Structure 1
Amino acid sequence: MSDLAGRRVVITGAGRGIGRVLAAAFDAAGAQLALVARGETALKEVAEGLHGDPLICPGDVRDAAFNDGVAADMVERFGGVDVWICNAGVSPEFADATETSPETWREIVDTNLTGAFLGARAGAAVMGAGGRIIVTGSVLGHRPRGGLAAYSASKSGAHSLVAAMAQELGPRGITVNAVALGWFETGVGTHWRRDAERSTAIAEHTALGRWGTPDDLPGVFLFLASAGSAYVTGATLTVDGGYSLL
């Protein structure tokens, strides 16, 4: 599972947080990478810590032409795409839905949901049998939380997108899955982790009694990108330490 030598992998949101952790893990597994994020400087910093020579793709995942361009660049550089990880995402500060501006709503939904759709669409266009599309979801997508309406809605939509696209792409031998993450000490959870009261409450609401660490992240993504997951599609795999059980 951890040997993905030669697999051609696109990771969006690779400039920080979860994407940065995934970039290191897939690089160590021997994959050929394209790193996608808005900031070129951050992507170059990530690339400097890798063993391989990744393709650097700064741009906005909400732009269809940009996603298509990343796919075209992968074909030119590596001959195709085997895995597309739709990981780019944003989260707002905690606020009631009635206090969430239309602009904030659009930014979150456009990045987390539309961005995933456009990336999956671009990847599927250049994939052959054995291709993998993986979307970073959230436990908040199937257990929404007050104060995070836009984020919860975007992740619920992403889970549904995965189920629909799995049916459409199955005949081509392409699998589509989501990873519903719980509370991690990186990515969008970083801000909440710094809040002692909320941090403690989340840990106490988790079966394992702790937040997820970066070491807890890559395994399921590596599995879904590997030959071992060939018969897994349309699934949302929950990685939350048991948060959704309590």
Structure 2
Amino acid sequence: MSHQIEIPPLMPQGGNVQGKRVVLTGASRGLGRLLAHGFSQAGALVTLVSRTEADLKTVAAELPGPSLVCAGDVADDDFNEQVADASVAEWGGVDVWIANAGISPVVAGPDRTEPSVWRQVLEVNLTAGFLGARAAARVMEPGGRLIFTGSVLGERPGKGLSAYSASKAGLVGMAKSLALDLAPQGITVNVVAPGWFDSPLMDGWKNSPKLSAAILGHTAQQRWGDATDLAGAYQFLASDASAFVTGAVLNVDGGYLLA
């Protein structure tokens, strides 16, 4: 059984997001739940988005600040528009849209990866991000922030991870293009690429001595990321301090891509 991330009572803050109106997809578990806590602790107003309403309500009940629950399929264009409109109705606008929803890696070679699985991974990890960006850009004012959750596996693919790595590499290309498209509107677009975090999605890797040793052997800091390591990167890109940062990829990986 996968474990829950233990949320610290106070996380380090990477930027001032007090009062920012934040849409966060993939908010019901793992790193999304962690980000929900990080932004709520820092005083943001958070719209929590994922498929399962019950799980979102559980996260909402944990948060120290106000939140809005929107349950649905992020790969559906109409649902993304509904999330944007609901956030405007609840908070008066959207300042930050974090496209964090994603499907965990499917470890299989091309002969064992069904076409339907390939399409699903690309649909959720890549297409849904574009649909969210499209909805966000419609309601954002100058100063808006779009942030995508990428992965170090988009830059350093692993065996059997073609669908996942393609989706995360695609996010980077998409974000850079959107950064050019949306700069005239005063909206920045960036990617945070986490490394190997101690999260439920990584249990299969962490619990395997061989895989865990290989990962830590490639990580300069020789450890897994923990709950205090991630939210600050997103907060910086969501804050006014990052006004001149767009089209960038911020790797939060303990030096995994260095080795």
Using structure 1 for the length normalisation, give the TM-score.
0.97
- Deviation (angstroms), 1:106: 1.1
Higher helix content, 1 or 2: 1
15, 27, 36: which one pairs with 2:28?
A: 15
CA contact (8 A) 2:106 2:164 kept: no
1:74-116, Cα deviation, whole Å (9 max, x unpaired): 1111111000000000124311122100111111110000011
CA distance in 2 between counterparts of 1:222 and 1:21 reads: 12
CA contact (8 A) 1:133 1:177 kept: yes
CA contact (8 A) 2:196 2:225 kept: yes
179, 182, 185: which one pairs with 2:198?
A: 185
CA distance in 2 between counterparts of 1:106 and 1:137 reads: 18
1:143-170, Cα deviation, whole Å (9 max, x unpaired): 2212100000000100001000000000
CA distance in 1 between counterparts of 2:129 and 2:142 reads: 20
CA contact (8 A) 1:90 1:188 kept: no
CA distance in 2 between counterparts of 1:113 and 1:188 reads: 18
The alignment partner of 1:155 has SS state of helix
What aligned pairs does 1:1-246 form with structure 2 within 5 A after superposition?
1-186=14-199, 188-246=201-259
CA distance in 2 between counterparts of 1:92 and 1:161 reads: 20
CA contact (8 A) 1:204 1:210 kept: no
- Deviation (angstroms), 1:234: 0.3
The alignment partner of 1:107 has SS state of helix
Q: Runs (4+) of structure 1 moved beyond 3 Å?
A: none
| Structure 2 residue runs without a partner (length 5+) | 1-13
CA contact (8 A) 2:40 2:66 kept: no
Task: Identify the range of structure 1 (132-141 vs 97-106) with the bigger mean alpha-carbon deviation.
Answer: 97-106
Using structure 2 for the length normalisation, give the TM-score.
0.92
CA contact (8 A) 2:152 2:195 kept: yes
Task: Identify the range of structure 1 (184-193 vs 36-45) with the bigger mean alpha-carbon deviation.
Answer: 184-193
The alignment partner of 1:118 has SS state of helix
CA distance in 1 between counterparts of 2:40 and 2:132 reads: 20
- Deviation (angstroms), 1:117: 0.6
Higher relative contact order (CA 8 A, sep 6+): 2
CA contact (8 A) 2:15 2:238 kept: no
CA distance in 1 between counterparts of 2:115 and 2:35 reads: 32
Percent identity at matched positions? Answer: 53
